[in-house]
A and B are shown apart, each in its own frame.
Chain A
Amino acid sequence: MTAKIEVVRPGVFATVQDLGRPGLAAIGVGRSGAADRGALRLANRLVGNPEGNAALESVLGGLVLRFPAPATVAVTGAPCSITVGGRAFGPGSPILLRAGEDLVLGMASRGLRCYVAVRGGIDVPPVLGARATDTLGKLGPPALSAGMTLPVGQRVLPHPGVDLAPRTPLPEVPILRVTPGPRVSWFTPGALSTLVSSGYVATADVDRVGVRLEGPTLSRARGGELPPEAAVPGALQVPPSGQPILFLADHPVTGGYPVIAVVEEADLDLAAQVRPGQWVRFRLA
């Protein structure tokens, strides 16, 4: 019989995520998958899963899961309190749950997204080769809701024999490395240096699609509209307001605003942990 997990409380917003659907942009399907891919991979490794198994991505924590059968889980990403049957655990460690126990995540104290991997992986039916929820493209399972059950799969590797994976704490002001984007010439000569010499603050508009930022205006040197063109995760798209939008996992496959710069793939995990009201800085790679 397949083991199941019951969602007691979904918290603010939680979804099933894996490494997404790469290579399908030409048919309008974005990569999606975990916003902080490194955290998903680590959580999977800690419970002895292949890195691409599906796990849960919880915005700000608050997630409560009930395990009718014994299970091994690990929590990574944004740090939050973790309790099982009144016992406290730390992040980045495999945790053994007895049958009937609840895993309770507190609110994240820093960062935005926590990941919960379960040994065997979340085994919802794949859509176009992945179990990830694409919130913009409307693919994959619905967001978690109270009472929902999630099947646990059987794709496992040997246990890694690791008790703790220490991680660098998330920085107060992340510095994201950028390289020039395809439409940097649409902006005034000083716009790129404005971007990399100023602070920008994340507005309340932060989701899996992107982070709307607020700071010094990035002025256009030319007007007019751009016909739709392909975008990538990390693209900094600038609408006429001059305030950049940083694209994350569920970004639109094509966009119509000029892209001034692109955040390096290696820094996208940090970008995915930026919470509303937090400052970020950009630096030329």
Chain B
Amino acid sequence: MRVLPYGARAAMVDFDDPSEVLGLQASLEQDPPDGVVELVPAARTLLIRFDPGRTHHDRLAGDVLDRSTVDVAPRESAEIVVPVRYDGPDLADVAAAAGLSMEAVVRRHEDGTYVSAFCGFAPGFAYLTGLDPALHLPRRTSPRTRVPAGSVAIAGEYTAVYPNASPGGWQLIGRTTLPVWDVDREPPNLLAPGTRIRFTS
């Protein structure tokens, strides 16, 4: 774990082990150091935004480095089940690239238990970890200009549900009618970091 400066109002904690990100976040939420205003988890980092009138980089870094991220269990959440119709336009290509039948791709995707690691790219777009390594495939060489809302997709080590229609380069394997993002709901996103998720057809 390294604490890197990020301008005058933020620090970025960089981890070798991505599973530590949510552990440190939970620790900082349970016992927040003075002056911390926001935590933003990502793939292998946790951004800590702070009020420079109340703390500074070195003090915050000292506090963070004293913490053990293994002692704190990330917050428990109910499991969310996402119903999927596995008929995505890239399913056949994914099967061919993985050397599996389309049925086997679907089975492996359904068998996984996923954890939302972080959000990014678009409001409510959650990167879900726990994808079967046989399905770790690169993005499409040419991104689509419009991916429909509710598309269930994979790329690299992640799977995701597109919360809204947007451009996108992930491989589309199915779609869901479950609204994972609704600005009129509190909270608006269903797949907050730390949430456990299963997909079922």
Which residues of A approach B to under 8 Å, CB–CB? 22-23, 25-29, 127-128, 137-139, 179-183, 227-230, 232, 234-235, 252-254, 259, 262-265, 285
16 A–B pairs (Cβ distance < 8 Å), ordered by A? A26-B40, A26-B193, A27-B189, A28-B119, A28-B126, A28-B163, A138-B122, A179-B8, A181-B5, A182-B6, A230-B47, A230-B120, A232-B47, A235-B6, A252-B120, A253-B120
Interface residues of B in 25-75 (CB under 8 A from A): 37-45, 47, 49
A interface SS class: loop
> A27 and B7: CB pair below 8 A?
no
What's the nearest-Cβ distance from chain A to residue B41, in Å? 6
Other contacts beyond A28-B189, A128-B183, A259-B6: 16, CB < 8 A: A22-B38, A26-B40, A26-B41, A27-B188, A138-B122, A179-B5, A182-B14, A228-B120, A228-B121, A229-B42, A229-B44, A230-B42, A230-B45, A253-B40, A254-B121, A262-B10
Separation of A85 and B169 alpha carbons in the complex (Å): 51
- Give the residues in chain A near B166, CB-CB below 8 Å: 138
With a CB–CB cut-off of 8 A, which chain B residues contact A285?
8
**Residue interface mask B177-201, A partner, CB < 8 A = 1:** 0000001000111001100000000
- Determine how close the nearest CB of chain A comes to the CB of B65; give it in whole angstroms: 16
State the Cβ distance, A241 to closest chain B Cβ, in Å: 19
Tell me if A25 and B40 are in contact (CB < 8 A).
yes
Is A181 within 8 A of B7, CB to CB?
Answer: yes
Instruction: Please give, as numbers and ranges, the residues of chain B lying within 8 Å of A28 by CB-CB distance.
Output: 119-126, 163, 189
When distances are taken between beta carbons in the complex, the residues of chain B under 8 Å from A259 are: 6
Known contacts A27-B189, A229-B45; A234 and B121 CB within 8 A of each other: no
B178 to nearest A CB, angstroms?
17
Q: Are A265 and B8 in contact (CB under 8 A)?
A: yes
Chain B 137-171 interface residues, beta-carbon cutoff 8 Å to A:
163-164, 166
B9, B42, B164: which has the most chain A beta carbons within 10 Å?
B42
